[in-house]
Structure 1
Amino acid sequence: MERWFSRITMFWMLFLGEVQSQDWTKCSTGCTCDGNKMSVTCNGLKNVPNDIQKDAKKLDLKYNSLSKLDPTAFHGLNKLTYLDLQWNELQTLPAGVFDQFVTLETLRINDNQLQTLPVGVFDHLVNLDKLYLRQNQLKSLPPGIFDKLTRLTILWLSENKLHRLPEGVFDKLTELKTLRLRNNQLRSVPDKAFDKLSKLETIFLTGNDWDCESCDILYLSQWIRENGDIVKDSSGSYTDPDGVTCQGTMESVNKITKENTFQAGCPTTTQQMATSPASTTTTETMTVREKQTKPRMKIFQEELFSKASIFFCQVIFTQHVSLVVIHILAEIPLLHIVCVVRKP
């Protein structure tokens, strides 16, 4: 009996010790905690609490009044898999704010006022699966901003003010399935911008300022023609490649080609090679080859003219041709020059 009582007592001590170590018996001010799911939800805050449970896996901070984040706001929360910051007033993100989120899978920062993103702000989110940046005020993206997010499957960038995309900005996102770029100010996309997105299933491109009078639109036009089945309408309910239209017109971007529009003046691949620094040697080599492969008839004609001129001049200067004839012939510029040059 005593042994049984001793075991029960030890069990309760261990249980209470575990609960106390996780500290789920209390929650941060302004927050509610669900110990079973290790979920924390906070409302009515202007700052992120500094005593959030360290074992939390889900942190919901949406619909607060967060206007800025301390660089160490989330330090110690290295078990989070879900962070929701949407519907706040964030204008920027401090560098390093997400550096301890090595297990994070979902990050929602949509519906804020972000104007810029620090270089490398997402570099430690190596397990991130979903990133939502919709409805902000982003005008540009830093080069390589998504390079470390190799497991990302969903990326929302719609409803921003993006007017350009960096070269290769999506090249590392080989697992991406959904990309939203609608309702920005994009005029074109870089050459080969989507070529590495081999698993892409859905893309939203409507509501941009696509400039169909620029040669830069040709890549996007061809890409839409070849991938029209994944180009969706604004609701995402059906396929609509023709819905991606040129700025100021209702003409579909996928109808723009070099052959049938004003794009006929765009440089061809050959012309681009000829004007690029790397092709200088090639161009010079081609010039030499052209000289070396000059038609034989032209060479024969030049040699014949040379021999004939020599003979003619010899006749003039050695056979006592009258001075009258010489003066007459000298009036012909070519003969005059040839003979003077070849005079013995």
Structure 2
Amino acid sequence: MERWFSRITMFWMLFLGEVQSQDWTKCSTGCTCDGNKMSVTCNGLKNVPNDIQKDAKELRLQFNSLSSLPHTAFHGLNKLTILNLWGNKLQTLPPGVFDHLVTLETLGLSNNQLKSLPPGVFDHLTKLTVLWLNENKLQRLPNGVFDKLTNLKELWLQRNQLRSVPQGVFDSLSSLSTISLEANTWDCKSCDILYLSRWIRENPQKVKTSGGRVEDPDGVTCQGTMESVNKITKENTFQAGCPTTTQQMATSPASTTTTETMTVREKQTKPRMKIFQEELFSKASIFFCQVIFTQHVSLVVIHILAEIPLLHIVCVVRKP
């Protein structure tokens, strides 16, 4: 009886603990909670609270003083659909910080101090539809950073320090309808700009201004000029010296491996061929010399033939 009473007590305590964790009347310090919208809004924080309701769907941490995030900051919040981190002081994002947010649809990271993004940082956000990265200090984007975001509809990259984007970085965004690229330091003197230029020409209806969301592909301009990035081509600029697609493939890792394999094969083949040729020539020379000596060819003829270097070596050395 005592054992059963102990088990019932333990079960009841666990039950109460679970109910308490879902109690929207008890909100994290510095935060306000709306149980109807399943929303948590926090202000004046330097760290992300570790007691946020596990069933929260919206977490708004905008305009706090967050300078860094632990990689476990949002673990357990796997029901979030909105995460807003606007207007903080974030300089970096730890790898895996968003891995548990598998239901997230909107992620706001604008107005921070991000200079770079870790590779694969968005790979688990396959339901994401809106991504705000504008008003940061991004100087580059990792290869394939958006490859998993096939449901993304809006991508805001304006007012960063991007000089170019990786080849194919937007090719997987099959649902994209809006992208803002203005007010970056696009380097139109580099061959790396050609992918972006072609992508804008092929998708002009997706390139929008940051304010009115009006279509404006010509608003994406080269650094230091008002020339539109989408006007930059190999044909009408000095970019004519840029490598073609075939040349790029030739310098790719796969092509390099093929080239190295061919080189190895050549190294393996050439010595055998050379040895075979030398052996054949040597045997022919020996036979020729034997004929000369057995037939008692005059010494004058021998001396004339001996002027040929290889015959000289063979015949003189092997002369009976």
1:102-117 correspondence to structure 2 within 5 Å = 102-117=78-93
Match of 2:39 in 1: 58
C-alpha change, 1:71 and 1:222, in structure 2 (3 Å) is same
Q: Which amino acid aligns with 2:241?
A: F
Shift of residue 108 of structure 1? Answer: 1.7
Structure 1: runs of 5 or more not aligned:
1-20, 29-46, 295-301
Q: Secondary structure at the match of 2:303?
A: helix
Matched, 1:93 2:69: yes
Shift of residue 97 of structure 1? Answer: 2.7
Work out the CA distance in 2 between the residues paired with 1:119 and 1:342. Answer: 77
Kept after mapping to 2: 8 A contact 1:151/1:173? yes
Cα RMSD after superposing both structures: 4.1
Among 47, 55, 60, the residue aligned to 1:69: 47
Among 263, 266, 278, the residue aligned to 2:242: 263
Work out the CA distance in 1 between the residues paired with 2:318 and 2:190. Answer: 58
Work out the CA distance in 1 between the residues paired with 2:31 and 2:170. Answer: 41
The worse-fitting range, judged by mean Cα deviation, of 213-222 and 143-152 is 213-222
Q: Which amino acid aligns with 2:40?
A: L
Q: Secondary structure at the match of 2:71?
A: coil
Kept after mapping to 2: 8 A contact 1:81/1:106? yes
1:133-152 correspondence to structure 2 within 5 Å = 133-152=109-128
Matched, 1:170 2:150: no
Q: Secondary structure at the match of 2:242?
A: helix
C-alpha change, 1:342 and 1:251, in structure 2 (3 Å) is farther
Matched, 1:193 2:169: yes
C-alpha change, 1:308 and 1:182, in structure 2 (3 Å) is same
Identity %: 57
Q: Which amino acid aligns with 1:261?
A: A
1:212-231 correspondence to structure 2 within 5 Å = 212-231=188-207
Shift of residue 271 of structure 1? Answer: 4.1
Shift of residue 177 of structure 1? Answer: 0.6
1:7-22 correspondence to structure 2 within 5 Å = none
C-alpha change, 1:130 and 1:343, in structure 2 (3 Å) is farther
Match of 1:331 in 2: 307
Work out the CA distance in 2 between the residues paired with 1:120 and 1:87. Answer: 23
Structure 2: runs of 5 or more not aligned:
1-21
Shift of residue 274 of structure 1? Answer: 6.5
Matched, 1:272 2:252: yes
Shift of residue 107 of structure 1? Answer: 1.9
Work out the CA distance in 2 between the residues paired with 1:201 and 1:84. Answer: 25
Q: Secondary structure at the match of 1:164?
A: coil
Match of 2:156 in 1: 180
Shift of residue 174 of structure 1? Answer: 1.0
The TM-score, its normalising length taken from structure 1, stands at 0.67
Q: Which amino acid aligns with 2:177?
A: E
Kept after mapping to 1: 8 A contact 2:30/2:44? no
Match of 1:44 in 2: none
Among 159, 167, 173, the residue aligned to 2:135: 159
Paired residues, number: 290
